[in-house]
A and B are shown apart, each in its own frame.
Chain A
Amino acid sequence: MFENMNFSGIWQNFSSVPGDLLRQLKLLGIGTLTSLEIFVLTLVFSLPLGLLVAFGRMSRNKIVSTVIKAYILVMRGTPLMLQLIFIYFAPSYMLPESLKINLDRFVAAIIAFSLNYAAYLAEIYRAGIESIALGQYEAAAVLGFTKSQTFFRIILPQVIKRILPPVGNEVITLVKDTALVTTLGISELFRAARNESARISSTTPLFIAGVFYLIMNYVVTKVFDMLEKKLSYYR
């Protein structure tokens, strides 16, 4: 696929064919929208799911915590690309004929990403929750707060402040990981760039894609900086 590419063509293309450049920007822009869709949906599902997984991991019920530990091991211990492929194809192979469903590739991608990121996020949540002093729980208890009030009013806000940096790391990784869904043939930013690159035998589209990823992560970084600043009113 890459063999007939002209690696010296980047600057040529930039300067000599502005019409082509516009076309590329538009193509990659459309791909970016799909990448962003995957990015946002994954966050929407994995951020709360991660909290549930963290609770399961910390559960005093041995069965629950063991199952969740195994889940986290598999999610973190195998390639995300493999998980994508598995979740996309498994239903049609493993289910009996009558129950066969054809999972939409986009849906499969969201499921795989959400499950995978929830596992990583769960460990971050857990570290955050376990870092809160026992005295906070006890002070809340003697004031009469219920368990859920204690968690959502007293503990979670402090946890969020502490886990912002590692969660920021995960979110930045997610932006880049969206490129993996190209394996399922979803036309997002990376795929658009690669196809175009092959078509016109130039690395320019790939270079532009790199810039796009960088811009997205610049925004992510800024957002997390802002959140950290917003929560810096206390220590």
Chain B
Amino acid sequence: MENIPILEVENLYKRFGTCEVLSGISFNVRKGEVVAVIGPSGSGKSTMLRCINLLEKIEGGSIRVAGDVMVTTDKSGKVIYAPEKELRKIRLRLGMVFQSFNLFPHFSVMRNITEAQVHVAKKSPQEAAEIARELLEKVGLSDKADAYPYQLSGGQAQRVAIARALAMNPDILFFDEPTSALDPELTAEVLKAMQDLAAEHMTMVIVTHEMNFARDVSDRVIFMDKGVIVEEGKPSDIFTNPQNERTRAFLKGFMDQF
């Protein structure tokens, strides 16, 4: 069981119109692993996360979550998604945190975190509130339970979004540039929350432009460019000794700092 990857992505293809955005992406994520995805703007990082989280339909390839097939492609090239019911089950194992937080503005912070627990996971309101309080404490926002999203700073909002995703107890949590919409001084508090999760061996895939964070916190770095994975490896290798020319060019600015 421990050896089955939580996430297996194979030969993923995605087009928007005639523009091919993902051209055969393959990678695995193991339980407890923290994977950082880096790459230039437009390389398809967001699109990849969105395909895995069923926000976009793929044109080819397969995705398995904990061994269960979410989508696969047959020999004739036909893409076959699992039945709706199965997809709903698989989806509950995935959590996602967006760049723009996407909190529900009409719900209090507490209700943002409890709503899906109660109405999707069918937990009792008491249990959901209990879990929400624990998670809020974990992200350092116990005093904001009754606040509304418009009353939060960006950093606080993103930490609530993280708590909201964690409340569904996902096997793997995806982040799409979680700090890109934040001022530098607010970025730190969100990165800290994510670092705490990493320390608890939460399985995470993080698209980020925070190279220091990728280097210090991730177990593996994936470098994407133009819809393909150009290079992947330990952060120490990728950041100090990139093999590919494109990786080197991309990291040039950052490597000088190290």
Contact = CB atoms under 8 A, between A and B. Distances in A.
B150 A143 contact: no
B154 interface: no
A143 B165 CA distance: 7
A201 B242 CA distance: 98
A235 interface: yes
A142 B91 contact: yes
B106 interface: yes
A145 B106 contact: no
Contacts of A133: 102
Contact of B115 (A135, A153, A234): A153
A158 B100 contact: no
B119 A138 contact: no
A149 interface: yes
Interface size, B (range): 20 to 34
A135 B149 contact: no
B98 A154 contact: no
Interface string A125-153: 00000000101101111111110010001
B55 A143 contact: no
A233 B148 contact: yes
B55 A135 contact: no
Contacts of B150: 234-235
A176 interface: no
Given A138-B55, A234-B148, A145 B102 contact: no
Q: Is the interface of A mostly helix, strand, loop or mixed?
A: helix
A157 interface: yes
Given A135-B102, A153-B115, A233-B148, A142 B53 contact: yes
Nearest to A157: B106
B94 interface: yes
Contacts of B27: none
Interface size, A (range): 20 to 34
Given A135-B98, A136-B104, A235-B150, A144 B92 contact: yes
A141 B164 contact: no
A161 interface: yes
A153 B111 CA distance: 11
Contacts of B106: 157-158, 161, 234
A145 B94 CA distance: 13
B105 interface: yes
A72 B47 CA distance: 38
B120 interface: yes
A43 to B, nearest CB: 23
Interface in B80-114: 88, 91-92, 94-96, 98, 100, 102-106
Nearest to B53: A142
Contacts of A142: 53-55, 91, 94-96, 165
30 contacts: A133-B102, A135-B98, A135-B102, A136-B104, A138-B55, A139-B103, A139-B104, A139-B161, A140-B104, A141-B53, A142-B54, A142-B91, A143-B116, A143-B120, A143-B164, A144-B120, A144-B121, A144-B168, A145-B116, A145-B120, A146-B88, A153-B115, A154-B104, A158-B105, A161-B106, A234-B105, A234-B106, A234-B148, A234-B150, A235-B105
Interface pairs A-B: 9 shortest CB-CB: A139-B102, A143-B116, A135-B102, A144-B120, A235-B150, A142-B96, A234-B148, A157-B106, A144-B92
Given A140-B104, A153-B119, 6 more contacts: A138-B55, A141-B54, A141-B55, A143-B120, A153-B115, A235-B150
